[in-house]
């Protein structure tokens, strides 16, 4: 009841194997970081296409659950960006992020996820170059670590057969 079924369409990109490419989910705040990424684009800065950007209104809205969900559903890395402390459009939204993400990092470490797979940085609207460098660096780190493939790992350990709709006769 509490757990929504995964109805997302299958991603055509391979989760592992020779054609694997790092798949990184980026949560960017609307006011600074997304504009910063936009600036990198309009300035035609080159950076790897491996980050799938999800725009949110404020980095304070990024529930740590979104990060663990991204890993659990097959992301190889996660990037969280928000306004610099003091620059938040909502005054103190990113004060919540600045405490949540370091605490989340400790949990990810306990779960065996390498710290290099998760980055939390402040990117202002003027920092297009910082953003492009950040993405290039993160992509390279994740590429060196290789695929994470959490869904494959859980399937191999037998999680979720009872949740399978076929077991309900559907």
Question: In 3-state terms, what secondary structure has residue 22?
Answer: coil
Q: Please list every residue from 44 through 73 that binds other proteins, using CB under 8 A.
A: 63-65, 67-69, 71-72
Closest listed residue to residue 25, CA positions, set 61, 66, 83:
66
Q: How far is the CB of 43 from other proteins (least distance, A)?
A: 28
> Which DSSP letter does residue 165 get?
G
Q: Is 158 left (phi over 0), alpha (psi -120 to 50) or beta?
A: left
> Closer to other proteins at the Cβ: 113 or 135?
113
Contact code string over 92-131 relative to other proteins, x by CB under 8 A: ---xx-xxx-xxx-xx--xxxx------------------
CB 54 within 8 A of CB 25: yes
Q: Please list every residue from 130 through 159 that binds other proteins, using CB under 8 A.
A: 148, 150, 153-154, 157-159
Provide the strand spans (E) within the chain: 24-29, 51-56, 77-82, 118-122
Give residues in contact with other proteins (CB under 8 A).
1-4, 63-65, 67-69, 71-72, 85, 95-96, 98-100, 102-104, 106-107, 110-113, 148, 150, 153-154, 157-163, 167-168
């Amino acid at each position: 009841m509490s757990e929504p079924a995964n109805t997302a369409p299958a991603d055509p990109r391979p989760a592992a194997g020779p054609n694997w490419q790092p798949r990184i989910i980026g949560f960017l705040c609307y006011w600074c970081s997304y504009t910063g990424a936009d600036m990198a684009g309009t300035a035609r800065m080159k950076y790897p296409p491996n980050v799938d950007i999800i725009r949110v209104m404020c980095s304070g809205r990024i529930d740590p659950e979104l990060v663990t969900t991204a890993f659990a559903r097959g992301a190889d890395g996660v990037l969280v960006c928000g306004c610099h402390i003091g620059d938040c459009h909502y005054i103190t939204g990113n004060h919540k992020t600045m405490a949540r993400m370091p605490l989340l990092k400790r949990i990810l470490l306990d779960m065996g996820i390498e710290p290099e797979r998760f980055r939390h940085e402040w990117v202002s609207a003027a920092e297009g170059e910082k953003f492009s460098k950040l993405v290039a660096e993160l992509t390279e780190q994740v590429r060196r670590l290789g695929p994470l493939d959490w869904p494959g790992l859980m399937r191999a350990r037998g999680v979720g057969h009872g949740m399978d709709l076929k077991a309900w006769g559907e």
